[in-house]
Chain A
């Protein structure tokens, strides 16, 4: 049988045979077993197709057909310039090049006691006892999570001890420079009771190569912990970026995430939040700007499992060219999750007549004492506003850019971390310039 599924499964199986001695944590029986099980699951199910409800609007044909390299070559590109340009003032910086920690470029700085920030490969090799198997294996089984588990080699491992507050942000800078590489990156963010931190995850590229980033983050917030998690995706225009974020929250914890998707040819961000403790709060923001033939897909799922949880979602998109955006937001309120409060909103601006948006906000409510709402809008720029600006002597293209920027700025204004805000504003300007051409 030579179907794409069978052949991609055999390709990955052969690659695993070859690479397994190199993968970190080879001495950990549970990990090797889990890697093999994940690979077997992938062989059975393959990549999802558009017949799967979760992938109805996003085709993975290109990823399924590609034969990515699964191990990076040594990077010879000069990177210091890129790093100094992107490094945020005062942040604890870890730099990953093609999915591997680059110690020479990283500047973790002085971390207060109680904060452990390492590379995952280091933890698996040197401190295997500190790695909780349940944490790494917890994410829902799905094609990309399985591939990630089978091949994950590195990423950031953050552990915050109880009541430890990290004032400066942690910046994780992922640089991709090698074409045709599949980067299987895994981050662990673990905040013990009462701790707090701000994490900025940034994906950038050298050059315009086609590669795949398959990033998976396991985020755990114990009681009363608080995490701000920013995702800034500026991958190369030919790249595919698949991000899976699995968040588990205990009582009174607070997780807020903001995703800024500017790059990649195909980008998909899936965030699953389980509010497992009472009165947990989560807030997911997102901004996507698409041009050319870009395809950006956001899937969120918030599981209100316990009483008194609050969730907020606001996703905004600006689409130009023949680009396409997908938003699928799902809120589930379980029978015991009384007094849940969920709000979800998706607002889209279509700038061209070839762009397409498919949005699907969903509510599944199994409890009665709840307050849930969702809203979705799709519209173009208000011609009256454009006319007003033009009557002030501003040319058409500029007026449209100004109004698009005003629409998108709201998401940047909501960012609490000010050095990041500036970087985002710069990225937004640059992206809008590309989009108006």
Chain B
């Protein structure tokens, strides 16, 4: 038993494997936040006037707001004046025009992370809009998507080349007044992805973006906007790893999804940012606003997330079910170990008739981790025949971790049906014993049980991510029983 617990100890305390940082010349804006900085960011990105105006409105609104305090997460106060709000890999002459022009140092970083762009282009059929720090450096498969009329580009490019589309949709799901972090993002967002699927087009490949935080003290303020026009389909993957840092890095992203009539959007995330060391030092603060709107009838939006990283995760991917018969889904696995804190969940706002939503949230807490599910299911007066089913399960590994569930259910129409179930329990000792009696090691047994616990969510992930997610859980959890 003693040797076993030592093994467990070693496994629990395993350090972050993706911790390395690349030395690059960065072109940063001076530290701090003011209207001048926002004008500078906007000018550097050669943005049209409307964009600057929008940023400034957001900034002025942000100044009137105060940081939210209602969540269960705790962290030292963030000094918003000590952050550099823009950093881009320094342009070589006029910037890279093809993969060959990209900084070789950058490409090596991707390779360490297992994102060999050249290979991916040929082998896996995934189009990658790679974001290194804040600027897009390489976009693949563009021609192929272009033939179908799909626009998939960096946000800055969209600002320049698709101003009409952008003006129409930007901020229509997450307005710049939405919340503290969304306002901040609206003021200073650096880059992100933009995607438009034209009517009737079934996007033939999984679209994917890799986010990465690299420069010291650079908050990342990504902004993603995905529009699926009538009868279209798109599946989007977002994956994250970040190099090791001692100082906390703020990340406040905004994702907006819009599905018109009969359109479907699947959005999957694997988030494995640096969670801090085992003493709880360092790690990313991840304050994200993600929201989709089923604007058209019969549309569908599904969120799938696997959250294993970050010191603090604060995000509630939501769906506004506006169109009749529209559907929203949320599948989540959130894991907290060491001193990680996760406050995550979803909001399903039912406005249209016969709208449906399904929530499956699995929380796993180990070490001193805190894991909270916080969700809202709202059936408006107009939501005739709406349905919701929610299931939130928490698994506890260790006696110093915590798991909370805070579901809010508001029903204003009698034909709406809402069901919510939640359970919290320790990993089954009988199951562990059974697995071990069959010759599995304690850590393999835990891994198998936890993967079984999360199976419903993993099934929703695209294949590439499912494999990565299982590996991630395995690494983060092996031997966390005590």
Chain A interface residues (CB < 8 Å from chain B): 53, 335, 338, 348, 350-353, 355-380
Contact = CB atoms under 8 A, between A and B. Distances in A.
Nearest to A356: B412
B403 A363 contact: yes
B404 A362 contact: yes
Top 3 A-B residue pairs of the complex, sorted by shortest distance between their CB atoms: A350-B414, A368-B396, A372-B424
A21 to B, nearest CB: 44
Contacts of B404: 362-365
B424 A370 contact: yes
A363 B409 contact: no
A376 B418 CA distance: 8
B422 A355 contact: no
Interface residues of B, number: 35
A353 B399 contact: no
A252 B409 CA distance: 34
B139 to A, nearest CB: 45
A355 B70 contact: no
Contacts of B416: 350, 378-379
Given A353-B414, A358-B410, A368 B422 contact: no
A351 B415 CA distance: 9
Interface in B413-429: 413-426
B413 A360 contact: no
Given A53-B70, A369-B426, A351 B414 contact: yes
Interface of B: 70, 379, 381, 394, 396-426
Contacts of A367: 396, 399
Given A363-B404, A365-B394, A369-B399, A358 B409 contact: yes
Contact of B399 (A338, A351, A352): A338
Contact of A368 (B381, B411, B426): B426
Contacts of B397: 368
A372 B417 contact: no
Contacts of B424: 363, 365, 370-373
Given A350-B411, A352-B414, A380-B414, A360 B406 contact: yes
B381 A364 contact: no
B396 A370 contact: yes
B402 A357 contact: no
Contact of B425 (A351, A353, A358, A370): A370
Contacts of A348: 411
A378 B386 CA distance: 11
Given A350-B411, A365-B403, A375 B425 contact: no
Nearest to B417: A379
B420 A358 contact: no
B422 A356 contact: no
Given A353-B413, A363-B403, A371-B425, A378 B418 contact: yes
Given A369-B399, A370-B426, A372-B424, A363 B411 contact: no
Given A366-B402, A371-B425, A360 B417 contact: no
Contact of A360 (B379, B409, B423): B409
A289 to B, nearest CB: 15
A366 B400 CA distance: 7
A374 B403 CA distance: 13
Contact of A362 (B406, B410, B414, B417): B406
A374 B418 CA distance: 14
B145 to A, nearest CB: 43
Contacts of A371: 423-425
Nearest to B414: A350
A30 B422 CA distance: 45
A379 B418 CA distance: 7
Of B402, B421, B424, B425, the most chain A CB neighbours within 10 A belong to B424
Given A358-B408, A372-B423, A374-B422, A365 B402 contact: yes
Given A371-B424, A373-B424, 13 more contacts: A351-B414, A355-B414, A357-B409, A360-B407, A362-B406, A362-B407, A365-B424, A368-B396, A368-B399, A368-B426, A369-B426, A370-B424, A375-B420
Contacts of A377: 417-420
A362 B417 CA distance: 20
A300 to B, nearest CB: 15
Of A352, A360, A368, A371, the most chain B CB neighbours within 10 A belong to A368
Contacts of A359: 409, 411, 420
Contacts of B426: 368-370
A367 B365 CA distance: 11
Contacts of B408: 358, 360
B374 to A, nearest CB: 9
A386 to B, nearest CB: 13
A355 B420 CA distance: 20
A375 B424 CA distance: 12
A354 to B, nearest CB: 8
Contacts of B411: 348, 350, 356-359, 378
A369 B427 CA distance: 9
Contacts of B414: 350-353, 355, 380
Of A338, A371, A372, the most chain B CB neighbours within 10 A belong to A372
B439 to A, nearest CB: 26
A368 B401 contact: yes
A362 B56 CA distance: 40
Contacts of A360: 406-409
Contacts of A365: 394, 396, 402-404, 424
A377 B420 CA distance: 6
A360 B425 CA distance: 20
Contacts of B425: 370-372
Nearest to B363: A365
23 contacts: A335-B399, A335-B400, A350-B414, A351-B414, A352-B414, A353-B414, A357-B411, A359-B411, A360-B407, A363-B403, A365-B402, A365-B404, A366-B402, A370-B396, A371-B424, A372-B423, A372-B424, A373-B421, A377-B418, A377-B419, A377-B420, A379-B418, A380-B414
A278 B64 CA distance: 50
Contact of A375 (B401, B415, B422): B422
